[in-house]
Chains A and B, each alone.
Chain A
Amino acid sequence: MTLFFEILLLVLLIMTAAGAILVKDLISSVLILGSYSFLLALVWAWLGAVDVAFVEAVVGAGLATVFFLLTLFGTAPKDTRIRRPAPPLIALLGLPLLGLLLLYSAEDFPKFGNPESRASVHVSPEYLKNSLKETDTPNVVTAVLMDYRAFDTLIETGVIFTAGIACVLLLRRNRE
């Protein structure tokens, strides 16, 4: 039952991604991308990552769609009917080959859902065991993000600040 539900969600995910790619009108494509973000948030909540699903639903389905639509209305709407040229041959041959190589290496990945996989044995059991005692915070993801790995979050805040400044500098109208 649970595996069937998960495969259904994955099939829906690929169908909405295909819809966002194959549709000719750009505004419809952007709105289907918003629903793709929402389905992705559902898949992540199903896998147990509730914090990530929250942020993806707010940022992906909300803010990214608003950015795309503002760009499409700021540039000319008549450019949104697009034509289909022939794709380059190297991409058509090389990318499926890359896909087959990646799938060939699927055997080396640990089995899905294994608690003894390599990603879960070194530092993260220590975080799970000690974080409530040391920080009074039941949400382990927030404690790790803001306390144990606070440098990453500081530099990421700097990256967001730089992105805002870059947008203003690119699109400023000079007063002459």
Chain B
Amino acid sequence: MIHAHDSTIVRTMSRLLIPLIQLFALYVLFFGQYGPGGGFAGGVMLGASLILGTLVFGPEAAPCLLAKKLIHGDGIGLMIFAGVGGLCLIGGGEFLNYSNLEIPWVDTDSRRRYLGILVTQIGVAVDIAVTALLIVFSLSLTNNSEESHA
């Protein structure tokens, strides 16, 4: 595994940058409907913040342990996306036709579609973030490491 970086400048700047990157990633994700961005860019940035934490602080510190717990949730993004489609089926229409979502306090057709777009973007972002983490963790195991993903 990658060992921790021992330069003070890199560690301090990473401590400042990781929460800023996550905040910007959430902004890009939720404002994808009013400007450029959306689910893909937000998800990759969320994954990149944890990759930075793993590369700088080593395998014993908090970002790497959090990433190892998050990796087990790889299929959740796809389930959210397909789940919204299934909810549309339950509401009485076709698969992924958001005008049939049954939410009690949302009344106009366009607000229902807006909400459907928002939830599916969150699903895509979670999926891409976890996959980026998974690929980086697979590529960085070295020969004399005793850890594995089972």
Contact = CB atoms under 8 A, between A and B. Distances in A.
Contact of A51 (B36, B110, B113, B141): B36
B82 to A, nearest CB: 7
B111 A50 contact: no
A138 B33 contact: yes
B135 interface: yes
Nearest to A146: B117
| Chain A interface helix/strand/loop/mixed | helix
A161 B135 contact: no
Contacts of B69: none
Contacts, number: 140
A151 B120 CA distance: 11
B27 interface: no
A160 B135 CA distance: 11
Interface stretch (B4-12, B59-67, B121-129): B121-129
A62 B149 contact: no
Nearest to B130: A164
A58 interface: yes
Interface residues of B, number: 54
Contacts of A168: 134, 138, 149
Interface size of A as a range? 35 or more
Interface string B106-150: 000111011011001101100110111011101111100101111
Interface of B: 28, 32-41, 44-45, 47-48, 51, 74-75, 77-78, 81-82, 85, 96, 98, 109-111, 113-114, 116-117, 120-121, 123-124, 127-128, 130-132, 134-136, 138-142, 145, 147-150
20 contacts: A51-B36, A54-B41, A55-B44, A62-B44, A62-B48, A63-B47, A70-B136, A133-B110, A134-B113, A135-B117, A137-B33, A142-B32, A147-B117, A154-B85, A157-B124, A160-B131, A161-B78, A163-B131, A164-B134, A172-B149
